Each structure stands twice: as C-alpha cells, then as structure tokens.
Structure 1
Amino acid sequence: MNDSNGGAAEESFISHLIELRDRIVKAVYGLGLVCLILMVWPGPATIYDFLAQPMLESLPAGSQMIATGVISPFLVPMKVTLLAAFVIALPWVLYQVWAFIAPGLYAHEKRLIAPLVISSTLLFVAGVAFCYFLVFGRVFHFINEFAPQSIHVAPDIENYLDFIMSMCLAFGVTFEVPVVVVVLVRMGIVPLDKLKAIRPYVIVGAFVVAAVVTPPDVVSQFSLALPMWVLYELGLLVAPMFARVTKVPESEESV
C-alpha cells in the first residue's frame, strides 16, 4: 500500500515537473517570437531612437549621443530590444505562470490571485509609461539647463541605457504600492486602520525613497514621491473592497 502511494506521489511530482518545463518553454518561445518580430520591425536602431527621444529633445539643436565602446552601437540597441520584448511578452509569461498554478487553487483563491497578477502587470507598465512620457523630458530639460556654456553635453549611450533602466524599474516597482497595500490587508498582516494611522510616515518614506533612487534634482524626486503617496491612498481605498470580493465562501471554509 505504501509502495503504491509512494509511486503515485512520485508520478504526480514528475508530471508537475513536466508541466512546469512545458510552461517555461512556451514562455521562452513567446519571448523569442516577440524579440524576433522586433528585430525585423521596427528594428533595434528604431527602438533605441524612440527610447532616446526624451534626451535628444532636451539637448541643444544638432547635438547627438555618443558611443565610447567599440561594440556599443550594436550591443546597446540589442539590449533595448530584448527589454522591449520582455515587456511586450510579459502578459504571455504571466499567463503561463497562472496556467501552471491555477489547477491547484480553490475558487476563492483564483479570485484572489488573478486580479493581483493582472493589476500588477498593468501597474508596472503604467509606471514605466509614466516615467517615459511625463518624467524623462522634464528631468533631462531641468538637468541640462544647469550645464555651463563651456560644457558640451553629449551623453554616452551605455550610461543613458543604465539610467533609464534604473528609472523605469524604480517607477514600475513604485506603482505596485496599491497591490502591496491590498495584500497586507487581505492576508491580515497589517490592519487597515494601522495603515491609515502610519500615513504621515509613509509620506516621509516616499520622499526618502525618491531621494535615494532618483537623480539629485527636485523634479525627479517629486515625480516619484507624489505618485507613491497617491497610489498608497488608492490602495487604502481598494483594499476593503478587494477583501470583501475575495472572501472565502462559507461552503469552502467548512471543507
């Protein structure tokens, strides 16, 4: 009897590993397909030009960015293309994760996880878009205004890539604040009243975080701190509603 139970458990474990492998392969194939499409159209150079547009618009007329590395003109656009492919393919990757874990969840657990996965993806993309369309132009213009006339501003493309990746990541993660608040309340880790009581500390913490992860200028710091505060308030509003919607039914509690 024990041997049969052990064999069934081993077969179940192996089947789960096979399913996990298949989901990972499908996710990689999807990412590779998107990357291949972007390589053909619009192409790595066009994608990088789009990403560099906020900086170019803030530079003096006729100015360009420079490449100090031998292979930088090839390597940097390729990195940007891979990054763009990952962002575009992220819903497909998350779907594979969801398809793997969903069969083992109860109905109320599916109601809990699915909205969190979807909202996390949308909020991260919204944070990156907010950073690109609303923050970069103001930050670069503000910084370049302080450049003395004796300095010719010509940013290196690798340094620029590192900067925009760190900024986009910071804003993308920052926009996940409502999800964090909702999870803390829904899982009973921190009561809602406690989160409301520590609001002043959260506001101060938002400006501290902004001062650490953004350049030392007022524009970028306020651009990160204020949305963080607003999103925290949004999380406080959504958390009670989410807790009610995903409440465990009595029929499942009794099981």
Structure 2
Amino acid sequence: MPLLDHLIELRRRLMWSMGALLIAFFVCYHFSGEIYSFLAEPLAKILESRGTDRRMIFTSLTEGFFTYLKVAFFGAAFISFPVIASQLWLFIAPGLYRSEKRAFAPFLIATPVLFVLGAALAYYFVFPFAWAFFLSFETPTGGGGVPIQLEARVGEYLDLVMKLIFAFGIAFQLPVALSLMAKVGIITSASLKKYRRYAYVGMFVIAAILAPPDVITQCGLAIPLIGLYEISILAARMVEPKPAED
C-alpha cells in the first residue's frame, strides 16, 4: 500500500476512535454525578461508619465543573477502549502474517482483562484500607482543643482515585509485557528467574512511585506485582521460542 493510502487509513481509524470517545464522553457527562458517587462510595462508607455527617467541598467556582469533566473523560476512556483497541488492531492486522495474528490475539484479550482486574483490586481492596488509614489521623481534640477533621476536596479526591486506578491497571499489564518480550526472544524465563530478587525490589520501587506515600497502598500494589511476576515466568516459559533440536 502506498504511503498516502496508509495515511488515509490511519485518519479513518483515528476518526472512528475519536468519534467513539466523543460519544462516550457525552453519555458519561450525563451520568457524571452517578459515576462520581460510585468513585466516592468507599470513602462515604467509612465516613458513614463513623456516624458523622460529613461532606466534600470545592474551593473555587470552576472546580466542580472541571471535576465532572474529568469524571466524564475517565468513564469515556473505559467505555471507548474496546473500540479504540479494535481500530488499532484493524490498522495493524493487515501487515501481519496469519501466524503473527494468532500469536498476538491472546495478548489483545488479556490486556483489558488485566486492566479491569487491577482497577477492581484498587477500588474494592486498597481504597477501603487506605482511606481508613488516612482518616485514622483525625482527632476529636487537636492542639489547643481544636478538632482535626477531614474536609476533602472533590477535585483532589478524584485525582487520587484516578491515579490509583490507572496505576493498578497499568501495573497489571506486567504479564502481557514480559510474555510478549519472551515471545519475540528479548528475554527468557531463565533470565526472569535469575533476576527475581532484583525484580522484587523493583516492584516496591514502582509501588512507591505510583502509589501514595503510605505503607498500605504501596504493599497493596507491590504484592500483586510480585505475584504477577511469578505468573509472567510461567507464561514466558510457555510462549518463548524453543531451541532447535540438533
């Protein structure tokens, strides 16, 4: 195919992707209040268990509006991802052999599944423990008899939630990345075993960078990463090229 035809095909795929993202954005903006309530539910449950009437605030006139825009874009990215991924595949697939298509198909299926699993782990397991840890620093009477109480900003809370969900989702792509590198011969399962101890240290370093500076959240990310690394060794052993027989 000539270069111009490649560019026309790329433009067509980008237009489909942007259209899907735009439609999903308007739909999610209509339900942005419900989406934000879903994201705020872990914090709301902990505050409700404390038996106090609490609220979340915004400190500038535009913060509430831009928060709902972020929520809508966050939801749209999740909803439109299958369409965007399919358009990317339709652009790349004609340049692959049939055997290469069969080799890449499991990775295309595993990528969104692992991302959702990582996001679910963050939402259902890490958030309740992390929010409870942060709220443990509240005191009924602080210095000079003044209570210390959380007044969370909606924008800051949403930024933290989105950061953690994306961090866990991207970190859960580790088996896909390592298996793909083993498939093309960049790494081997033996090398992954050899450098296992260094990888474990690297998992905690990655967790310290991606997660907030508290032990619960960092361990909640590092420990699953270690488990995924062990799974990656098994997957690499199955997909790596076998040595030719003499």
Question: What is the TM-score of this pair, normalised by structure 2?
Answer: 0.89
Matched, 1:117 2:108: yes
Specify the alignment match of 1:5 in structure 2: none
Q: Which runs of 4+ in 1 moved over 6 A?
A: none
Specify the alignment match of 1:28 in structure 2: 18
Deviation at 1:108, TM superposition (A): 1.6
State how far apart, in whole Å, the 2-side matches of 1:170 and 1:90 are: 17
State how far apart, in whole Å, the 2-side matches of 1:100 and 1:212 are: 34
Structure 1 range deviating more: 87-96 or 199-208: 199-208
Matched, 1:39 2:29: yes
Question: Match of 1:129, as an amino acid?
Answer: A
Deviation at 1:208, TM superposition (A): 2.1
State how far apart, in whole Å, the 2-side matches of 1:188 and 1:105 are: 18
State how far apart, in whole Å, the 1-side matches of 2:220 and 2:168 are: 9
Question: Match of 1:26, as an amino acid?
Answer: W
2:188–2:236 CA contact under 8 A, matched in 1: no
Specify the alignment match of 1:169 in structure 2: 166
**Aligned pairs (5 A) from 1:1-255:** 12-40=2-30, 43-59=31-47, 60=50, 61-149=52-140, 150-243=147-240
Unaligned 5+ segments in structure 2 are 141-146
State how far apart, in whole Å, the 2-side matches of 1:207 and 1:104 are: 39
State how far apart, in whole Å, the 2-side matches of 1:162 and 1:138 are: 18
Q: Give a deviation string over 1:84-116, Cα, whole Å, max 9, x none.
A: 111111011000000011111111211222222
Q: Residues 190, 243 of structure 1: CA spacing in aligned structure 2 closer, same or farther, 3 A cutoff?
A: closer
Deviation at 1:17, TM superposition (A): 1.0
1:47–1:77 CA contact under 8 A, matched in 2: no
Structure 1 range deviating more: 188-197 or 210-219: 210-219
Specify the alignment match of 2:144 in structure 1: none
SS in 2 for 1:215: coil
Q: Give a deviation string over 1:211-235, Cα, whole Å, max 9, x none.
A: 2322222211110010000001111
State how far apart, in whole Å, the 2-side matches of 1:186 and 1:100 are: 22
Question: Match of 1:47, as an amino acid?
Answer: I
Deviation at 1:35, TM superposition (A): 2.1
Deviation at 1:135, TM superposition (A): 0.9
Deviation at 1:193, TM superposition (A): 0.5
Unaligned 5+ segments in structure 1 are 1-8, 248-255
State how far apart, in whole Å, the 2-side matches of 1:121 and 1:99 are: 17
Deviation at 1:134, TM superposition (A): 1.3
SS in 1 for 2:94: helix
Deviation at 1:199, TM superposition (A): 1.0
Deviation at 1:198, TM superposition (A): 1.1
RMSD: 1.6
State how far apart, in whole Å, the 1-side matches of 2:111 and 2:230 are: 17
Specify the alignment match of 1:252 in structure 2: none
State how far apart, in whole Å, the 1-side matches of 2:174 and 2:38 are: 28
State how far apart, in whole Å, the 2-side matches of 1:216 and 1:34 are: 33
Q: Give a deviation string over 1:69-91, Cα, whole Å, max 9, x none.
A: 21112220121111111111101
